[in-house]
A and B are shown apart, each in its own frame.
Chain A
Amino acid sequence: MATMTLKLQIWRQPGPSVPGRLVPYTAEGVSSDMSFLEMLDVVNEGLIAKGEDPIAFDSDCREGICGMCSLVVNGIPHGPERGTTVCQLHMRHFKDGETITIEPWRARAFPVVKDLIVDRSAFDRIIAAGGFVSINVGGAPDGNAIPIGKATADLAMDSAACIGCGACVAACKNASAHLFTSAKISHLALMPQGQVERQQRVVRMVEQMDAEGFGSCSNEGECEAVCPKEIPISNIARMVREYTRAVLTRR
């Protein structure tokens, strides 16, 4: 098993109101089987042993589904592997001696909490604005009462697969949340269950997205390119259509 030594440039920032900077570190004995976050664990173990403050970064499931991890690696959210969260990125994709720059998501709507950790609560507020079907528990009809074509269900699932990590925002030069918001709007607009509130949902979610300070979409597709779940940009087109229709037909 090959081991590597890597030069790291890592963003350190003690708190939201304190300026941050890139600090150099060396990662030694990095095995190619390590995940990127395990490599950082090893660096942190070394820092703790030296009595230094370890690097704060978010992670939880470490299998690419919770959406908690959020590192910009060499300028790319989640790093160089397509369709991969940074927790699933393995060190076999890096070379011995390479320099790696690690930064947090950067967006006005995602303020830095500490080091590589940002506050993504804006996403929760976008969902709260309308990303649901308004039904209470109890009284739901039989699950097979509404047949849904396989193609429709599959398409909805493609959008619903979003893990809410925010890489789309971090990749966008406008820090736009269009891909995230449109994925939820698409999922529910495609399903029959989402029809009743289809119009008010899109309007409310888009208004909330704007209120949070996310930027506009200028159709460059960086969001799709970095999305670890490869959510297609066609969702954004659908959201714009949904929004236009909702606004034009608003009563």
Chain B
Amino acid sequence: MTLDSKVPGGPIAEKWDHHKFASKLVNPANKRKHTVIIVGTGLAGASAASSLGELGYQVLSFCIQDSPRRAHSIAAQGGINAAKNYQNDGDSVYRLFYDTVKGGDYRSREANVYRLAQISVNIIDQCVAQGVPFAREYGGLLDNRSFGGAQVSRTFYARGQTGQQLLLGAYQSMMRQVQRGNVKIFPRREMLDLVVIDGKARGIVVRNLVTGALETYAADAVILATGGYGTVFYLSTNAVNSNVTAAWRAHKRGALFANPCFTQIHPTCIPVSGEHQSKLTLMSESLRNDGRVWVPKNPGDTRRPESIPESERDYYLERKYPSFGNLVPRDVASRNAKQVCDDGRGVGETGLAVYLDFSDAIKRLGPDVIASRYGNLFQMYEKITGEDPYKVPMRIYPAVHYTMGGLWVDYNLMSTIPGLHVLGEANFSDHGSNRLGASALMQGLADGYFVIPYTLGHYIASTPLPKVSTDADPFKEALASTQERINRLLQVKGKRTIREFHRELGRVMWDYVGMSRNEAGLKTALERIPQLREEFWQNVSVPGSPDNLNQSLEHAGRVADYLEFAEVIALDALERRESCGGHFREESQTPDNEALRDDEHYSYVAAWEFTGVGKRPTLHKEPLVFEEVHPTQRSYK
């Protein structure tokens, strides 16, 4: 299989315009004859549903939550980037493009990133027009803040609830199309299989999570916008129901999975407090605008933070990276936090935390200004930890947050299965090996509002799509195999709970495939994961029945998929014998412990093809060509 990225020719700034013009169009009267399935209602899925509904397609929208408004994009706090240059501080489409390619440590596709930067400005306009209440300056214009990996202020925000406001904007637009009859919503449905007919994605199998019934839906194209797979680590900042199932089932039907080992560990999360913990809570990166990160200079210093004098504190990010300081990209900040804790200088009960201190900012700006910027985050911190960050520095530690890897897509956001498009975090395309803060919201909305309406139209206009019925054999086969898997899960009747397996898998992933990876550890993971999977199928206890609401069964299916998928993450990490972005291989580092890329051997997208559970997947490589941004050793010093 050769991976054709379908990147158009011509100068980078003109590729998207040329491509749009070259794309075929669907006559307005014909659009309503085409049905499109969209799975997931986060920023990418909801914006796609609304924009395709507006164009007149018949959209069927599915989500696992009780309402499309609850998708996990809602939890994004800090903001959304756009190259508006409203601050007159030197921003441009080219600079956002450049920062994103560099921030991704030269492992993303240039043409996709350039398009993202171009579209970023339209996203802000669109969201403002929808009535999203972005933060404003006193003069009434839009306010910006700074985020990691950039030296300009280009992040638009709505307090600490930017994801919520953008998602509600997209959800409301989508509900407008529901009211007009162009979008039909199917909440509490979980996609359990993709139906491929004559080599094209033509439908899905879902489980109705209320009645337990398996349902099939046919369409002319399927769009997955099902988010990332961070919960493979069990503890992450993702919602507890986030999962890889839809993407994994598509992978098993032939969609290649790209760069699965590119996982982002976010530097500023509330540290783990105990075994019972079900998820980790992020403290927005925006806090690093005003918070200073430090640990005691001396290992084993257990004094309270206020008793440690300035001279005995190590503001290690400011010391090591004077030009970016506390605003280095996430991968750099996370790795440094791990290093100081490994040195025995971590703080708090577990020693697995560093301070994020606002006392200087409070002195400089006053508590009111700090409250207006971060009030809800401070409040959230206090609720969880019982400590007041206005008085005591926050304690933070890295946690799994985002997955840059995902289903492989070409420039049209189409996977290796014709008709199956993948948007948002679920695809792999724009962030390389490290995503910059405030770029996930940008990508989700770019894909849904501004890319898919063009590329899906081209696919539909240029592909013969005979009508299919859900009575067709491929639907029956998919339905039967889904049913069989559910029955198998319920019949194991073992002794261990699903959560025990999930937690154990998460521990293996965190210990060996986490912030820092090495060959021996990855090989250990590759032994442990199949063992755990085998034990799962012999000893898991899934209570209840398949024919009603059964949250254990839902969780079991997701963990079963993770037990297959985790192996591909570890294998991908093992095969990539270089460090880049969030993927840190201990064998490949500079003398001062920064990630050391190996462009000669690894400047490619690793796309894995499914060959069977437990069988080694086949690696396909899409070479990465850099015509604009010449790869250099990333430096934030």
Contact = CB atoms under 8 A, between A and B. Distances in A.
Interface of A: 1, 14-15, 31, 33-35, 37-39, 41-42, 45, 47-49, 51-54, 56, 58-68, 81, 83-84, 88-90, 92, 113-114, 117, 119-121, 123-124, 127-129, 131-138, 140-144, 146-150, 153-154, 156-157, 160-161, 163-164, 187-188, 191, 193-194
Given A127-B172, A140-B126, A153-B136, A66 B278 contact: no
B382 to A, nearest CB: 10
Nearest to B541: A48
B114 interface: no
Interface string B24-60: 0000000000000000000000010011001000000
B136 A88 contact: no
B277 A193 contact: no
A157 B544 contact: no
Contacts of B386: 90, 92
A134 B176 contact: yes
Contact of B74 (A66, A89, A129): A66
A249 to B, nearest CB: 22
B276 A133 contact: no
Interface string B155-181: 010110100110010011101101100
A167 to B, nearest CB: 15
B433 interface: no
Contacts of B1: none
B133 A133 contact: no
Given A48-B552, A64-B383, A140-B125, 10 more contacts: A1-B274, A38-B278, A45-B499, A48-B541, A59-B240, A62-B281, A67-B70, A89-B383, A135-B129, A157-B159
Contacts of A141: 125, 129
A211 to B, nearest CB: 13
8 contacts: A54-B552, A61-B75, A61-B239, A62-B281, A65-B74, A117-B66, A131-B172, A154-B136
Nearest to B172: A132
In the complex, which of the residues B72, B187, B278 has the most CB atoms of chain A within 10 Å of its own CB atom?
Answer: B278
A61 B167 CA distance: 14
A17 B478 CA distance: 32
Nearest to A32: B386
Contact of B161 (A1, A33, A65, A81): A65
Contacts of A191: 131, 133
Contact of A147 (B133, B141, B241): B141
Contacts of B370: none
A144 B141 contact: yes
Nearest to A1: B274
Contact of B86 (A144, A147, A153, A188): A144
Given A67-B69, A140-B126, A146-B128, A132 B175 contact: yes
Nearest to B277: A38
Nearest to B379: A83
Dominant SS among interface residues on chain A: loop
A190 B40 CA distance: 31
Interface of B: 47, 50-51, 54, 65-72, 74-75, 84, 86, 122, 124-131, 133-142, 156, 158-159, 161, 164-165, 168, 171-173, 175-176, 178-179, 185, 187, 210, 237, 239-241, 273-274, 276-279, 281-282, 379-380, 383-384, 386, 449-450, 453, 497-499, 541, 543-544, 548-549, 551-552
Contact of B124 (A49, A143, A153): A143
Given A63-B279, A150-B138, A127 B175 contact: yes
A60 B70 contact: yes
Contacts of A113: 210, 549
Contacts of A54: 543-544, 551-552
A33 B380 CA distance: 14
Given A34-B276, A135-B129, A48 B543 contact: yes
Contact of B133 (A58, A119, A135, A187): A187
A65 B75 contact: yes
A137 B51 contact: yes
B75 A66 contact: yes
B74 A41 contact: no
Given A127-B171, A133-B130, A142-B125, A58 B66 contact: yes
A61 B276 contact: no
A148 to B, nearest CB: 5
